[in-house]
Amino acid sequence: MATSNTPDFNKVLYAPLAEIDPEVKNIIDKETWRQFTGLELIASENLTSRATLEANGSILTNKYSEGLPNARYYGGNEYIDELEILCRKRALEAFNLDPAKWGVNVQPYSGSTANFAALTALLQPQDRLMGLGLPDGGHLTHGYYTAKKKMTASSIYFQSFPYAIDPTTQLIDYEGLKRQAKIFKPRLIICGASAYPRDWDYAALKATADVEGAYLMADIAHTSGLVAAQTLNNPFDYCDIVTTTTHKTLRGPRAGLIFFKRDGPNSQDLEKRVNDAVFPACQGGPHNNTIAAVATALLQVSQPAFKVYAKQVISNAQTLAAALQENGYKLQTGGTDNHLVLWDLRPLGLTGSKVEKVCDLLGITINKNAVSGDASAQTPGGIRLGTSALTSRDMKEEDIKVVASFLHRAVQLSLFLQKEAGSKLLKDFIRAATTKGSAGAAQVTELRRDVATFAQRWPLPGADVSTLKRPAGIEEEF
């Protein structure tokens, strides 16, 4: 609270957001409403806890703490040191790691910066690396480039070469990777993906890495919550480095972690190299509010309930896959082992962009995604769906079947709109869906209403939905 002596220039420091900045407050309210009245199926998203949000919004954001616990460039870090040490301990516990065998850096701002720091630690500039190709489900930061352009720092500052999935099985082509690694001679092999519905054979990757004298790094950004819950294979048994985001299946705030092996044949100086790569090579001061939130999220991950959550996420994804297949739809690899489903829309003559657009109008949030054999990267033939967020809103198998029926209706509606559009162009398709008074728009409105009515039955972590009101700037009423 301001005191009677607080000068005018500081009064601003004590006013609540709604008073000082109604514009931003209204944007937050609209986004809260969108999350409440919609169905979140983006596979990389989740809903973090109230406690995590509290820590993330705390006064810890004020503190500079470049360096590591007990070795800082600034004073006043006794509690920040305590926090970072606690967060590291919880990170190792969450993944069942022995502190004698693994260490962790908890300062990365996000998954991408964690990955670039890991590459900086492991490689010299222009060293060679291999990662799963982007169209096959890999991530931008695993060496992505196009014919015309080196797209990310991982291909600008290093020589990269992609491995692939087998076009028939749509599973990782471990044999192909082995053959190409023999020729390309990577210093580093990266595994892990953003759109791969199956588990990884880390032993096969480790065998290839050993033959070529390469490091093996797993980027488990998507699946880390499922790995921590021991519902998927364990990359820590085989890798030198494991990176992850903390906001996907791990259900924390937006940040990254880098785990490094202490006792392997490649572990020489690894701890120092990772720590130096994060700071000062790639980052500045740690975001201590975020580190506090990561610590809180990791505490939750270590509790028995999280295992039940992770199992439910997978069961929900498998229920979703089965329900779509019952309607005759085609899924890449024919199902899923994890939290995500890749839906191949090409047999229907639809593109991912069109279905994504329709779903957006319906309040079903998904994303277009490449599927194996896509002719053009510009028009992906599929969509990616994930169950992490819906499971965080309490949904179980029977509820996911309702969600699957909405998706079925959305795709049938897309087929209708494509016919109404009279062309294959996206702009004609959007016109068919949005022209007031048209048959397409009427169907969109009806389905939107059904989706919103269903979505509003569920709680939303971080918001008190019993008092939530439709904010100014949102027209639709249900």
Ligand X SMILES: *Cc1c(COP(=O)(O)O)cnc(C)c1O
| Residues with catalytic roles | 64, 66, 219, 245, 248, 254
Judged by CB under 6 A, the residue of 67, 111, 286, 363 near ligand X is 111
Q: Does 434 bind ligand X (CB under 6 A)?
A: no
Judged by CB under 6 A, the residue of 87, 104, 172, 221 near ligand X is 221
Strand order in the sheet with 382-386: 330-331, 340-344, 382-386, 367-369
Q: Which is nearer to ligand X, 154 or 208 (CB)?
A: 154
Instruction: Please identify, among the stretches 99-107, 110-118, 121-129, 234-242, the one whose residues bind ligand X according to the rule CB under 6 A.
Output: 110-118
- Residue pair 104/88 in contact (Cβ under 8 Å)? The answer is yes
Q: Residues 191-210: x/- map of binding to ligand X (CB under 6 A)?
A: -xxx----------------
Is cis: bond before 347, omega within 30 of 0?
Answer: no
Q: Using CA atoms, how far apart are residues 182 and 211, in angstroms rounded to an integer?
A: 8
Judged by CB under 6 A, the residue of 46, 107, 112, 388 near ligand X is 112
- Nearest residue to the partner ligand X, using Cβ: 111
Which residues from 135-194 bind ligand X, rule CB under 6 A? Answer: 139, 141, 192-194
Q: Using CA atoms, how far apart are residues 283 and 219, in angstroms rounded to an integer?
A: 19
Q: Does 44 bind ligand X (CB under 6 A)?
A: yes
Q: Does 293 bind ligand X (CB under 6 A)?
A: no
Q: Among 250, 244, 187, which Cα is nearest to 220's?
A: 244
Q: Which is nearer to ligand X, 193 or 227 (CB)?
A: 193
Q: Which amino acid is at 427?
A: K
Q: Which is nearer to ligand X, 36 or 279 (CB)?
A: 279
Cβ contacts of 383 within 8 Å, gap of 6 or more: 342, 343, 345, 352, 355, 356, 359, 366, 367, 368, 369
Q: Which is nearer to ligand X, 139 or 261 (CB)?
A: 139
Q: What is the DSSP letter of 60?
A: G
Cα–Cα distances (Å) from 415 to 110, 283, 321, 351, 356, in that order, read: 38, 48, 20, 10, 13
Shortest distance (Å) from residue 460 CB to ligand X: 22
Q: Using CA atoms, how far apart are residues 90 and 96, in angstroms rounded to an integer?
A: 10
Dihedral-angle region of residue 222 (phi above 0 means left; psi in -120 to 50 means alpha; beta otherwise): alpha
Q: Which is nearer to ligand X, 44 or 388 (CB)?
A: 44
Shortest distance (Å) from residue 190 CB to ligand X: 9
Q: Count residues binding ligand X (CB under 6 A).
A: 15
Q: What is the DSSP letter of 338?
A: S
Judged by CB under 6 A, the residue of 65, 77, 245, 300 near ligand X is 245
Q: Which is nearer to ligand X, 340 or 433 (CB)?
A: 340
Residues that bind ligand X (CB under 6 A): 44, 110-112, 115, 139, 141, 192-194, 219, 221-222, 245, 254
